[in-house]
Structure 1
């Protein structure tokens, strides 16, 4: 899973803008755009996205790992 793409998808589903997220986590909007390009992410930052977006990215990553393991 490309986590940056997935974060962007969930933000879009929840109608959250990069500007809104940046304000919440106290960073620049461009940092959010940089996160979209990432294939991986720091767990603490991912936890923040989970809370802000009310979405369990860790669960998705775990499911993705299980699928890869079973191939």
Structure 2
């Protein structure tokens, strides 16, 4: 399975919506340095991802849901 780089997905969506880093930082009540750090993350806290999803009106959790694989037997 390929690793998800969630920060890059967030950055792509922000740019796609033609929003600025400053705008997102204001919405999340943080500074823009923190937003750039988020862009470089391969993982993210679920509460933060929920906040970002709500602000950008995009369900970033879908990227993880699409990778679920229940066809393999669980180790006993």
The TM-score bracket by the shorter chain reads: 0.7 to 0.9
When Rg is computed on C-alpha atoms for both structures, the one with the higher figure is 2
State the alpha-carbon separation in 1 of the partners of residues 41 and 63 from structure 2: 16
Aligned residues: 67
**Structure 1 residues 7-46: Cα deviation after superposition (integer angstroms, max 9, x where no partner):** 0000011111110010111101000000000000000000
2:39 to 36, 39, 42: 36
Instruction: Point out the structure with the larger helix share.
Output: 1
Q: Give the alignment's TM-score, normalised by structure 2.
A: 0.82
Query: 5+ residue gaps in structure 2?
Result: 72-76
**CA RMSD, aligned part only?**
1.2
Q: Give the alignment's TM-score, normalised by structure 1.
A: 0.87
